[in-house]
Structure formats: C-alpha cells, structure tokens
A and B are shown apart, each in its own frame.
Chain A
Amino acid sequence: DGGITQSPKYLFRKEGQNVTLSCEQNLNHDAMYWYRQDPGQGLRLIYYSQIVNDFQKGDIAEGYSVSREKKESFPLTVTSAQKNPTAFYLCASSDRGASNYGYTFGSGTRLTVV
C-alpha cells in the first residue's frame, strides 16, 4: 500500500540535544511538508519542499532544519535552538502538479523534552 511513514512514533529529547524525525513516502509525490501541532493552535507549517534539493521555510522554521536529497524522504531535525520542541509533528505529501488534491498525512511523531 502506498503511504507516508513517520518514525519514531514517540521520541524523547534531552535539553541541548538535536534529534531527527524521519518521513518517507512511496506515493511518488513531488511536494512534502512538515507541520507542528500544539493543543488549540491547529497545524503550523515548519518547512515544505516542492521538489528534490529545494525547500522553503514555513511560518515557524526557527530552530528546525530539513533536507530533501531524495524524492521519497524529507527528514526534520529539531535543533537545540528550538526552545520549546515538545509537540506532535506531522509530515504530509501532495502531488505538486495536481492542485485539486489535498495532502496525505503520516501518523505523526510525538516529541517530548525530558
């Protein structure tokens, strides 16, 4: 079955530590997205990529970094510069050429600072 896989499902980070969240899709989608979800704030866009080797900052990119070396993969690194990283992180993808389609979402990674 085609879909998006996020791993791990739960992740614990110590203060000052960088962690990387994985997102892999086998849908042959061009575009991929990272969102952060906090209670009562909906989804906030961190980074997105419309094509391999290119990505743009979203609304809350500070303290995060991404790469897009392969079409299938869009990992997100939460750096020590992100002062409040505890949240639920969602990865999504879409077919860039078909704007009448929505996103397909992964099942999310819950990151907790310990």
Chain B
Amino acid sequence: AQSVAQPEDQVNVAEGNPLTVKCTYSVSGNPYLFWYVQYPNRGLQFLLKYITGDNLVKGSYGFEAEFNKSQTSFHLKKPSALVSDSALYFCAVRGAGGGNKLTFGTGTQLKVEL
C-alpha cells in the first residue's frame, strides 16, 4: 500500500522569507511524486512532479521540491514567500506498479503574513 504524510497541518511564514512544506511517502518501487495547491472553494492545481532524474524539481510560481530517496521525502520549497502563496498544499504519490491511482496527504495550510 502507498501512503503520504504531511506532518504539519499549518505552516506560518513571513512574506519574503523562505518556506518549506514537508512531505514523506511510502510506496513500493520507484515513486511518482506530485504537489498540488488549492485555493478556497476551488479544485486542486498542479504545481510540480518528480518522475525521474534530477532530485531538485522546479515548478509553477517559483516553487521547487527536493526528492530525497534515503529519507523518502519530497519537501516543497520556495526561496521567498508571497502573501498570495497562502493556500492549502497537497502532496501525492503513486507507485510505479500502482496503476493510476494517486494517494494524497491530508494537506498543509500555508499562511504567509506581511
């Protein structure tokens, strides 16, 4: 079975500071990893994915994520947070042999304050 853990329900950061939203996963075989963002009363929007290759993945809106196989982590990062980054962030994983079903974490609410 595949699973995702997002250990923080909420992350608070000041605008201009770097941000990190944590994600760890468990899956058989090589993982396919994804980050999505959700604004209030909206669907999820794709941010970035790791399939293979470089461990540092760059995505939309200046976000990036680092794949760490030994720590089974895929933390989302941004060098300088904006108030407009405030939203709910979901990490998701799919195993190479797990068909097409994604397993989502419970989400982390990011709040960026002035």
Contacts and interface: CB of A to CB of B under 8 A. Distances in A.
Contact of B104 (A40, A42, A94, A110): A42
Interface residues on B, range: 20 to 34
B100 A108 contact: no
B88 to A, nearest CB: 9
B43 A105 contact: yes
Interface in A16-71: 31, 33, 40-43, 45, 48, 50
B11 interface: no
Nearest to B105: A42
Interface residues of A, number: 26
A99 to B, nearest CB: 6
Interface stretch (B45-53, B61-69, B73-81): B45-53
B22 interface: no
A37 B106 CA distance: 10
Interface string B18-53: 000000000000001010100001111110010100
Contacts of B106: 40-42
B49 A102 contact: yes
Given A40-B106, A42-B107, A105-B43, A94 B100 contact: yes
Contacts of A96: 100
B107 A105 contact: no
Nearest to A102: B34
A107 B44 CA distance: 8
B43 A100 contact: no
Contact of A99 (B44, B94, B104): B94
Nearest to B6: A42
Question: A-B pairs with the 8 shortest C-beta distances?
Answer: A105-B43, A42-B106, A105-B44, A43-B104, A100-B51, A102-B34, A107-B43, A42-B107
For B43, B92, B106, which residue has the most chain A Cβ atoms within 10 angstroms? B43
B93 to A, nearest CB: 11
Contacts of A107: 42-43
